[in-house]
Amino acid sequence: MVQMLDGASYDGRSAAVVRGLPGRYYTDPAIFEEEKQKIFFRTWQCLGHVAMLPEKGSFIVASVVDQEIAILRGEDDIPRAFFNICRHRGHPLLEGRGVARRIVCPYHAWTYDASGQLRNAPHTAGIAGFDASTIRLKSVRLEIFMGLLFVNLDDNAPPVAVQFGAVEAEIRAIRPNLEDQRLVFEYPMVHACNWKASVEGFSECYHCAPVHKYLVDNVVDPTTYVLTVEGPVQRHRLQSRDGTMSQVLWHLWPNLAIGFYPIPGVGSVLCTRHMYPRTVGESIYHYRWFADPGMDVDAIVRYAQHHATTTGKEDAEVVIQVQRGMTSRGFDSSLLIANPAKGDSTEHAIAAFHVQVLSALGHAPDGRMR
Ligand code: FES
Ligand SMILES: [Fe+2]
């Protein structure tokens, strides 16, 4: 039995085959543009952690699809987010990460302070109507939630706690001091695939046995996998191979995962993953690993580096290949094996994710425009 992709026709509990999104959702630039406008420019997007802004003037530059955002800690110690462009003629201002008490535009040297206020614009004295005190970098909404830096390009979106509040207590039950975590290792892995293929790779462990041999033989026991979905939240829980620790992961719509990894000799280590879309056929799968105060940083870094060259690399390889396959004229849509009772082999979270995508886009369940 193949069911249509439709929240009404699949109950989310039974064992069934569910038809996934049509292939064009992974390859069509027009759909990607629509996702940009209706998903990524309307939801809270996590661009990092407060640990990345340790002092006054600290900044990071990151992107929400094609919109470059700078987040700076001001002279008043308050982090703020701005579009990373000069108010004069739009030259980008900052790059990467660092500390800037003053931001000098490379083009005509307009100079801003770390709170985004224009302080100096050469040769403007006496120009009628020019008042530097009225010019600031254009701000973007920023909220710090669970220690993470969230921005939202939609001025009318509800606060971030409305989007993610349901999971805060669960996450803080494991790590109350989320704000005190130290970022110790990160790597942006290029996934030459649509962002949804990256999310889908996270959303099931059906591929764990064939793809992640090291992981299932040494780290976790997939037969203990429990995967539940509640609206925009996926919850993943499984036991370490020796049965002494749990691995717990949340995937939060649309493109953020937060997890605690059982690292032998260290304990439960916080790791975030972001599936940042870049183009219709490329996303950046960005891992960040954090140490709780007192943890063995070297051991975490060793584990994370090993993860990058095993599980992380293996995931990148399969999603790149599946993107290649989805461009084939022979690909219609996925046939998702939904079997929530068997956490190590169910794809029901992908079916739920597809319903979220269609709902956000306002498309009918079979992928046609409503
Ligand atoms: S564009 Fe920045 S000073 Fe001219
Ligand atoms: Fe994987």
- Who surrounds ion ligand 2 at CB < 5 A? 315
pLDDT value at residue 235: 97
Counting other chains too, the contacts that 251-254 makes at CB distance below 8 Å and 24 or more residues apart are 251/199, 251/202, 251/203, 251/349, 252/163, 252/164, 252/167, 253/43, 253/163, 253/353, 253/356, 254/39, 254/40, 254/43, 254/199, 254/356, 254/357, 254/360
- Helix 195-202 / helix 313-326 crossing angle, nearest 10 deg: 130
Is 108's C-beta closer than 6 angstroms to any atom of ligand 1? yes
Q: Which ligand is nearest to the CA of 106?
A: 1
Q: Strand, helix or coil at 163? A: helix
Residues 6 or more apart in contact with residue 335 via CB below 8 angstroms: 2, 17, 18, 19, 20
pLDDT value at residue 9: 73
Is 88's C-beta closer than 6 angstroms to any atom of ligand 1? yes
Instruction: Select from 317, 294, 291, 315 the least CA-distant residue to 304.
Output: 291
User: What are 132-167's pLDDT values in tens digits?
Assistant: 999 999 999 999 999 999 999 999 999 999 888 889
Task: Name the average pLDDT for the chain.
Answer: 95
User: What's the CA-to-centroid distance between 118 and ligand 1, angstroms?
Assistant: 11
Q: Which ligand is nearest to the CA of 208?
A: 2
Place of tokens 């470059």: 68
- Helix 195-202 / helix 348-361 crossing angle, nearest 10 deg: 150
Residue 185, CA atoms < 13 Å, CB-side half-sphere: 19
Sign of dihedral through CA atoms 150, 281, 39, 141?
positive
**Helix/strand/coil percentages in the chain, nearest 5:** 30, 35, 35
The number of helices, as runs of H, and strands, as runs of E, in the chain is 9, 20
CB atoms closer than 10 angstroms to residue 78: 12
Q: Where are the domains of the chain?
A: 2-43+157-361, 51-149
Q: Which ligand is nearest to the CA of 205?
A: 2
State how far the Cα of 267 lies from the Cα of 246, in Å rounded to an integer: 10
Nearest atom in ligand 1 to the alpha carbon of residue 89 is 1
Q: Which ligand is nearest to the CA of 105?
A: 1
Is 216's C-beta closer than 6 angstroms to any atom of ligand 1? no
The protein residue with its alpha carbon nearest to ligand 1, atom 1, reads: 89
Nearest atom in ligand 1 to the alpha carbon of residue 110 is 3
User: What are 339-359's pLDDT values in tens digits?
Assistant: 999 999 999 999 999 999 999
CATH of span 2-43+157-361: 3.90.380.10
Same CATH topology for 2-43+157-361 and 51-149: the answer is no
Give pLDDT tens digits along the chain (370 positions): 556 665 557 888 899 999 999 999 999 999 999 999 999 999 999 999 999 999 999 999 999 999 999 999 999 999 999 999 999 999 999 999 999 999 999 999 999 999 999 999 999 999 999 999 999 999 999 999 999 999 999 999 999 998 888 899 999 999 999 999 999 999 999 999 999 999 999 999 999 999 999 999 988 999 999 999 998 999 999 998 888 889 999 999 999 999 999 888 899 999 999 999 999 999 999 999 999 999 999 999 999 999 999 999 999 999 999 999 999 999 999 999 999 999 999 999 999 999 999 999 999 877 655 4
User: What are 108-141's pLDDT values in tens digits?
Assistant: 999 999 999 999 999 999 999 999 999 999 999 9
Is 121's C-beta closer than 6 angstroms to any atom of ligand 1? no
Is 56's C-beta closer than 6 angstroms to any atom of ligand 1? no
Is 110's C-beta closer than 6 angstroms to any atom of ligand 1? yes
Q: Which residues of 25-53 are buried (b: 16+ CB within 10 A; e: fewer)?
A: bbbeeebbebbbeebbbbbbbbbbbbbbb
Element (H, E) at 265: none
Is 107's C-beta closer than 6 angstroms to any atom of ligand 1? yes
Strand partners, 258: 250, 272
* The pairing of beta strand 182-191 with beta strand 282-291: antiparallel
The protein residue with its alpha carbon nearest to ligand 1, atom 3, reads: 108
User: What's the CA-to-centroid distance between 92 and ligand 1, angstroms?
Assistant: 9
Nearest atom in ligand 1 to the alpha carbon of residue 93 is 2
Strand partners, 149: 48, 144
Is 313's C-beta closer than 6 angstroms to any atom of ligand 1? no
Nearest atom in ligand 1 to the alpha carbon of residue 86 is 2
Instruction: Select from 190, 162, 163, 149 the least CA-distant residue to 252.
Output: 163
* The pairing of beta strand 16-22 with beta strand 2-3: parallel
User: What's the CA-to-centroid distance between 253 and ligand 2, angstroms?
Assistant: 18
Give the pTM: 0.95
Phi, psi of 12, deg, nearest 5: 80, 0
Per DSSP, 44 falls in state: -
Fold type of domain 51-149: Rieske Iron-sulfur Protein (2.102.10)
Per DSSP, 348 falls in state: H
Q: Is the peptide bond before 254 cis (omega within 30 degrees of 0)?
A: yes
pLDDT value at residue 306: 96
Q: Which ligand is nearest to the CA of 199?
A: 2
Nearest atom in ligand 1 to the alpha carbon of residue 108 is 3
Is 89's C-beta closer than 6 angstroms to any atom of ligand 1? yes
